[in-house]
């Protein structure tokens, strides 16, 4: 089984959604984990809500520190934070590293519905990126 680690700074939104999406889209071929360099200590309620709209429950997920994964090896490490706003952690134990900068939905302002729109947009962008990567790998193996 292949292993992917999704990293960001807070491990409260993007990396949590990516972990769950990768687990679902990977069809049992991937084990996904997520972590942050400075974990927030919680999973954002709007991230939970956005994932529930896809029938994916992340309400029991926890914000984790990348330190607990440093002695482990991964086929792939994906950083999902926007480096214009925050420093992404670097993970030396990866066979491959990708950087996919997504906007941080935790920074969304406005009404609850306006914030939710940003969570949905980022969730969908993450899903599309994962699906495109998995399609590339699949097509490369055939």
- The residue ranges of every structural domain in the chain are 2-141
Catalytic residue (choose from 4, 7, 78, 81): 81
- CATH number (3.40.50.300, 3.40.309.10, 3.10.20.520, 3.40.50.2300) of 2-141 reads 3.40.50.2300
Tens of pLDDT, residue by residue over 92-125, are 778 888 999 999 999 999 999 999 999 999 999 9
In the numeric block, which tokens belong to residue 74? 């991964």
Query: Catalytic annotation on 13?
Result: no
Catalytic residue (choose from 4, 5, 8, 43): 8
Q: What pLDDT is attached to residue 113?
A: 96
Catalytic residue (choose from 56, 88, 116, 117): 88
Rounded to whole angstroms, the Cα distance separating 30 from 1 reads 6
pLDDT along the chain (142 residues), means of 10: 92 96 95 92 96 97 91 91 58 83 93 97 98 89 50
Query: Catalytic annotation on 81?
Result: yes
Handedness of CA 59, 63, 66, 72 (dihedral sign): negative
pTM of the model: 0.91
């Amino acid at each position: 089984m292949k292993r992917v680690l999704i990293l960001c700074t807070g491990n409260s939104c993007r990396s949590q959604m990516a972990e769950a999406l990768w687990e679902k889209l990977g069809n049992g071929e991937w084990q996904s984990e997520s972590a942050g360099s400075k974990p927030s200590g919680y999973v954002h309620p709007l991230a939970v809500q956005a994932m529930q709209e896809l029938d994916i429950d992340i309400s029991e997920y926890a914000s984790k520190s990348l330190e607990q994964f440093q002695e482990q090896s991964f086929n792939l490490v994906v950083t999902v934070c926007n480096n214009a706003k925050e420093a992404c952690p670097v993970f030396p134990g990866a066979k491959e590293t990708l950087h996919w900068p997504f906007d941080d939905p935790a920074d969304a302002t406005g009404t609850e519905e306006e914030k939710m729109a940003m969570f949905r947009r980022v969730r969908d962008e993450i899903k599309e990126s994962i699906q495109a990567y998995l399609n590339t790998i699949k097509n490369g193996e055939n």
